[in-house]
Amino acid sequence: MVWIIKLFWCFSPSTINVLNIDYENQNRVYNQTVEFQSEYIQSEGEPLKSYKYLLYDSNQDLIQSFDEKFYNNEQYLTQEIAGLDNGQLYYIELKTLSIYDSEGSSGLVWFKPFYITPRLYSVLTPEVLKEQGAIKISANIVQIIGKLYDNYGIEIEPLNVEYIDNEWLDLTRVDYKKLVYEDGFNILQNNFMLKLWFKNLQDGVPFIFLHSAYGHIEFIRFDNRIHVYKRSKNHNIVSHFVSEEVDFIDNQVYMLYVKSEKNRINMKVVNVLW
Protein backbone atom coordinates (compact mmCIF):
# COMPACT_ATOMS: atom_id res chain seq x y z
CA MET A 1 0.00 0.00 0.00
CA VAL A 2 1.29 3.41 -0.95
CA TRP A 3 0.35 6.43 1.12
CA ILE A 4 0.25 9.74 -0.67
CA ILE A 5 0.49 12.74 1.60
CA LYS A 6 0.01 16.25 0.25
CA LEU A 7 0.99 19.20 2.42
CA PHE A 8 -0.60 22.58 2.01
CA TRP A 9 -0.52 25.83 3.93
CA CYS A 10 -3.40 28.02 5.01
CA PHE A 11 -2.37 31.67 5.35
CA SER A 12 -4.34 34.46 6.94
CA PRO A 13 -5.43 37.31 4.66
CA SER A 14 -2.84 40.04 4.36
CA THR A 15 -3.34 43.58 5.67
CA ILE A 16 -2.27 46.49 3.48
CA ASN A 17 -2.15 50.01 4.84
CA VAL A 18 -1.61 53.19 2.80
CA LEU A 19 0.42 55.28 5.24
CA ASN A 20 0.91 58.86 4.05
CA ILE A 21 -2.71 59.98 3.84
CA ASP A 22 -3.76 62.36 6.61
CA TYR A 23 -6.72 60.30 7.81
CA GLU A 24 -7.37 62.61 10.77
CA ASN A 25 -7.80 65.61 8.48
CA GLN A 26 -10.29 64.67 5.77
CA ASN A 27 -7.96 62.13 4.13
CA ARG A 28 -5.74 64.83 2.66
CA VAL A 29 -2.44 64.68 0.86
CA TYR A 30 -0.46 67.89 0.57
CA ASN A 31 1.05 68.09 -2.88
CA GLN A 32 0.32 67.77 -6.58
CA THR A 33 2.86 64.97 -6.78
CA VAL A 34 2.78 62.36 -4.01
CA GLU A 35 4.95 59.33 -3.41
CA PHE A 36 2.49 56.97 -1.76
CA GLN A 37 3.90 54.60 0.83
CA SER A 38 2.21 51.44 2.03
CA GLU A 39 3.00 48.51 4.28
CA TYR A 40 2.24 44.80 3.77
CA ILE A 41 1.46 42.73 6.86
CA GLN A 42 0.82 38.98 6.87
CA SER A 43 0.47 37.09 10.17
CA GLU A 44 2.39 33.98 9.10
CA GLY A 45 5.09 35.96 7.32
CA GLU A 46 4.11 34.90 3.81
CA PRO A 47 6.73 36.56 1.58
CA LEU A 48 5.63 39.19 -0.92
CA LYS A 49 6.47 38.79 -4.59
CA SER A 50 5.09 41.89 -6.34
CA TYR A 51 2.67 44.78 -6.07
CA LYS A 52 1.05 47.51 -8.11
CA TYR A 53 -0.96 50.66 -7.50
CA LEU A 54 -4.21 51.70 -9.16
CA LEU A 55 -5.72 55.22 -9.23
CA TYR A 56 -9.45 55.89 -9.56
CA ASP A 57 -11.51 59.04 -10.03
CA SER A 58 -14.40 60.25 -7.86
CA ASN A 59 -16.75 57.79 -9.59
CA GLN A 60 -14.35 54.93 -8.81
CA ASP A 61 -13.55 54.59 -12.51
CA LEU A 62 -9.96 53.52 -13.16
CA ILE A 63 -7.70 56.39 -14.23
CA GLN A 64 -4.39 54.57 -14.31
CA SER A 65 -2.96 51.16 -13.50
CA PHE A 66 0.73 51.55 -12.69
CA ASP A 67 3.42 49.07 -13.62
CA GLU A 68 3.83 46.00 -11.45
CA LYS A 69 6.86 46.22 -9.17
CA PHE A 70 8.76 43.24 -7.77
CA TYR A 71 9.40 43.34 -4.05
CA ASN A 72 13.04 43.69 -3.04
CA ASN A 73 12.86 43.77 0.78
CA GLU A 74 12.28 47.53 0.83
CA GLN A 75 10.62 48.97 3.94
CA TYR A 76 7.62 50.46 2.13
CA LEU A 77 5.75 49.74 -1.09
CA THR A 78 5.93 53.02 -2.99
CA GLN A 79 4.51 54.68 -6.07
CA GLU A 80 4.86 58.29 -7.21
CA ILE A 81 1.66 59.76 -8.64
CA ALA A 82 1.80 63.19 -10.33
CA GLY A 83 -0.76 65.64 -11.70
CA LEU A 84 -3.29 65.39 -8.86
CA ASP A 85 -5.90 68.16 -9.07
CA ASN A 86 -6.34 70.31 -6.00
CA GLY A 87 -9.52 69.53 -4.05
CA GLN A 88 -10.57 66.61 -6.28
CA LEU A 89 -11.71 63.30 -4.82
CA TYR A 90 -9.61 60.25 -5.76
CA TYR A 91 -9.35 56.63 -4.74
CA ILE A 92 -6.16 54.61 -4.56
CA GLU A 93 -5.73 50.85 -4.35
CA LEU A 94 -2.68 48.70 -3.77
CA LYS A 95 -2.80 45.11 -4.98
CA THR A 96 -0.22 42.55 -3.85
CA LEU A 97 0.83 39.07 -4.90
CA SER A 98 2.74 36.68 -2.61
CA ILE A 99 5.31 34.11 -3.73
CA TYR A 100 2.54 31.52 -3.34
CA ASP A 101 0.24 33.60 -5.58
CA SER A 102 -1.99 34.79 -2.76
CA GLU A 103 -3.63 38.07 -3.76
CA GLY A 104 -4.17 40.98 -1.42
CA SER A 105 -5.72 44.43 -1.70
CA SER A 106 -5.93 47.59 0.36
CA GLY A 107 -9.38 48.18 -1.03
CA LEU A 108 -10.28 51.57 -2.48
CA VAL A 109 -8.95 54.27 -0.16
CA TRP A 110 -10.29 57.76 -0.82
CA PHE A 111 -8.18 60.91 -0.53
CA LYS A 112 -8.14 64.58 -1.57
CA PRO A 113 -5.12 66.69 -2.55
CA PHE A 114 -4.85 69.98 -0.70
CA TYR A 115 -2.01 72.29 -1.62
CA ILE A 116 -1.21 75.89 -2.40
CA THR A 117 -0.84 76.42 -6.11
CA PRO A 118 2.20 78.66 -6.55
CA ARG A 119 2.63 81.09 -9.42
CA LEU A 120 6.07 80.04 -10.47
CA TYR A 121 7.91 81.61 -13.35
CA SER A 122 11.32 80.07 -13.87
CA VAL A 123 14.38 81.23 -15.69
CA LEU A 124 15.27 78.65 -18.31
CA THR A 125 18.96 77.97 -18.85
CA PRO A 126 19.96 76.41 -22.21
CA GLU A 127 23.07 74.28 -22.52
CA VAL A 128 24.47 72.98 -25.81
CA LEU A 129 25.42 69.29 -25.72
CA LYS A 130 27.70 69.05 -28.73
CA GLU A 131 28.46 65.35 -28.37
CA GLN A 132 24.77 64.49 -28.41
CA GLY A 133 23.65 67.08 -30.93
CA ALA A 134 21.10 68.41 -28.48
CA ILE A 135 20.22 71.32 -26.23
CA LYS A 136 19.53 70.81 -22.54
CA ILE A 137 17.10 73.26 -20.93
CA SER A 138 17.03 73.40 -17.15
CA ALA A 139 15.40 75.48 -14.43
CA ASN A 140 16.14 75.76 -10.74
CA ILE A 141 13.04 76.47 -8.65
CA VAL A 142 12.62 76.34 -4.88
CA GLN A 143 9.06 76.67 -3.61
CA ILE A 144 8.89 78.37 -0.20
CA ILE A 145 5.56 78.28 1.63
CA GLY A 146 4.71 81.30 3.77
CA LYS A 147 3.71 81.04 7.43
CA LEU A 148 1.14 83.39 8.90
CA TYR A 149 1.53 84.59 12.50
CA ASP A 150 -0.93 86.26 14.84
CA ASN A 151 -0.39 89.18 17.25
CA TYR A 152 1.14 86.84 19.85
CA GLY A 153 3.75 85.42 17.50
CA ILE A 154 1.92 82.10 17.20
CA GLU A 155 1.76 80.47 13.79
CA ILE A 156 -1.75 80.05 12.41
CA GLU A 157 -2.39 76.58 11.07
CA PRO A 158 -2.60 76.69 7.22
CA LEU A 159 -5.99 74.98 7.26
CA ASN A 160 -7.35 77.72 9.53
CA VAL A 161 -6.22 80.63 7.36
CA GLU A 162 -9.15 82.46 5.77
CA TYR A 163 -8.84 83.87 2.26
CA ILE A 164 -10.90 86.43 0.38
CA ASP A 165 -12.30 84.93 -2.84
CA ASN A 166 -10.14 81.85 -2.15
CA GLU A 167 -7.10 83.86 -3.27
CA TRP A 168 -6.29 86.97 -1.24
CA LEU A 169 -4.78 87.06 2.22
CA ASP A 170 -6.04 90.03 4.24
CA LEU A 171 -3.10 91.31 6.31
CA THR A 172 -5.18 94.25 7.55
CA ARG A 173 -6.96 91.91 9.97
CA VAL A 174 -6.04 92.60 13.58
CA ASP A 175 -5.33 88.89 14.18
CA TYR A 176 -3.09 88.49 11.10
CA LYS A 177 0.20 90.10 12.10
CA LYS A 178 2.81 89.06 9.54
CA LEU A 179 3.62 86.65 6.73
CA VAL A 180 7.00 84.93 7.03
CA TYR A 181 8.92 82.84 4.50
CA GLU A 182 11.79 80.90 6.02
CA ASP A 183 11.88 77.19 5.12
CA GLY A 184 14.29 76.82 2.21
CA PHE A 185 15.33 80.50 2.16
CA ASN A 186 18.97 81.48 2.69
CA ILE A 187 19.97 85.15 2.77
CA LEU A 188 23.50 84.15 1.73
CA GLN A 189 22.08 82.96 -1.59
CA ASN A 190 22.04 86.36 -3.27
CA ASN A 191 20.53 85.45 -6.62
CA PHE A 192 16.78 84.98 -6.50
CA MET A 193 13.57 86.39 -7.97
CA LEU A 194 10.24 87.04 -6.32
CA LYS A 195 6.84 88.03 -7.70
CA LEU A 196 4.08 89.19 -5.40
CA TRP A 197 0.56 90.37 -6.23
CA PHE A 198 -0.98 92.82 -3.75
CA LYS A 199 -3.50 95.61 -3.24
CA ASN A 200 -4.33 98.06 -0.45
CA LEU A 201 -1.00 97.82 1.37
CA GLN A 202 -0.98 99.59 4.71
CA ASP A 203 1.48 102.45 4.93
CA GLY A 204 4.40 101.88 7.28
CA VAL A 205 3.50 98.28 8.06
CA PRO A 206 5.84 95.40 7.03
CA PHE A 207 3.93 93.03 4.75
CA ILE A 208 6.40 90.25 4.06
CA PHE A 209 9.49 88.77 5.72
CA LEU A 210 12.14 86.46 4.26
CA HIS A 211 13.96 84.82 7.15
CA SER A 212 17.08 82.67 7.41
CA ALA A 213 19.62 81.80 10.08
CA TYR A 214 21.99 84.46 8.74
CA GLY A 215 19.61 87.40 8.56
CA HIS A 216 16.34 88.50 7.03
CA ILE A 217 14.74 90.73 4.42
CA GLU A 218 11.78 92.93 5.23
CA PHE A 219 9.37 94.65 2.80
CA ILE A 220 7.50 97.83 3.83
CA ARG A 221 5.44 100.43 2.00
CA PHE A 222 6.21 104.04 2.86
CA ASP A 223 4.05 106.60 1.05
CA ASN A 224 4.46 105.94 -2.69
CA ARG A 225 7.44 103.55 -2.62
CA ILE A 226 8.27 100.01 -1.56
CA HIS A 227 11.27 99.82 0.76
CA VAL A 228 13.38 96.72 1.39
CA TYR A 229 15.67 96.27 4.38
CA LYS A 230 18.22 93.48 4.22
CA ARG A 231 19.82 92.68 7.57
CA SER A 232 22.84 90.38 7.75
CA LYS A 233 23.68 88.87 11.14
CA ASN A 234 27.20 87.86 10.15
CA HIS A 235 28.37 91.39 9.32
CA ASN A 236 25.82 93.44 11.31
CA ILE A 237 24.96 95.30 8.10
CA VAL A 238 21.62 96.78 7.06
CA SER A 239 21.12 97.41 3.34
CA HIS A 240 18.26 99.62 2.18
CA PHE A 241 16.69 99.46 -1.29
CA VAL A 242 13.83 101.56 -2.64
CA SER A 243 11.49 101.16 -5.60
CA GLU A 244 10.49 103.90 -8.01
CA GLU A 245 7.52 106.08 -7.10
CA VAL A 246 4.12 104.46 -7.54
CA ASP A 247 0.71 106.11 -7.49
CA PHE A 248 -1.06 103.56 -5.30
CA ILE A 249 -4.81 103.44 -5.90
CA ASP A 250 -7.25 101.73 -3.53
CA ASN A 251 -8.41 98.26 -4.66
CA GLN A 252 -6.07 98.35 -7.65
CA VAL A 253 -3.93 95.20 -8.09
CA TYR A 254 -0.17 95.57 -8.40
CA MET A 255 2.63 93.13 -8.99
CA LEU A 256 5.92 93.57 -7.17
CA TYR A 257 8.83 92.10 -9.11
CA VAL A 258 12.02 91.63 -7.07
CA LYS A 259 15.38 90.53 -8.40
CA SER A 260 18.32 90.01 -6.06
CA GLU A 261 21.75 89.71 -7.64
CA LYS A 262 25.22 90.17 -6.17
CA ASN A 263 23.95 91.64 -2.88
CA ARG A 264 21.75 94.19 -4.64
CA ILE A 265 17.97 94.15 -4.79
CA ASN A 266 16.11 95.74 -7.70
CA MET A 267 12.36 96.22 -7.66
CA LYS A 268 9.64 97.13 -10.10
CA VAL A 269 5.98 97.70 -9.26
CA VAL A 270 3.53 97.14 -12.11
CA ASN A 271 -0.14 98.10 -12.27
CA VAL A 272 -1.93 95.00 -13.57
CA LEU A 273 -5.43 94.14 -14.69
CA TRP A 274 -7.06 91.45 -12.56
Same domain? For 90 and 204 the reply is no
Question: Domain range spanning residue 100?
Answer: 15-113
| Angstrom distance (rounded) from CA 20 to CA 96 | 18
Co-location of 150 and 252 in the same domain: yes
Q: How many CB atoms lie within 10 A of CB 38?
A: 21
CB 49 within 8 A of CB 19: no
152 and 100 in one domain?
no
Nearest-Å Rg of the Cα atoms of the chain is 27
The answer to whether residue 218 sits within a structural domain is yes
Domain match, 257 and 174 both: yes
Residue 130, in any domain of the structure: no
Report how many domains make up the chain: 2
Query: Does some domain include residue 121?
Result: no
The HSE-up count of residue 245 (CA atoms within 13 Å, CB side) is 1
Q: What is the CATH number of the domain that holds 41?
A: 2.60.40.10
pLDDT digit string, tens, across residues 141-195: 666 677 888 888 888 888 788 888 777 888 888 888 888 877 666 666 667 788 8
Residue 77 shares a structural domain with residue 158: no
* Confidence at residue 119, expressed as pLDDT on a 0 to 100 scale: 46
Q: Among 4-8, 24-28, 110-114, 218-222, whose mean pLDDT is lowest?
A: 4-8
Q: What is the pTM (predicted TM-score) of this model?
A: 0.48
Q: What is the DSSP string of 190-236?
A: --EEEEEEE-SPPTT-EEEEEEETTEEEEEEEETTEEEEEEEETTTT
Are residue 189 and residue 94 in the same domain, yes or no? no
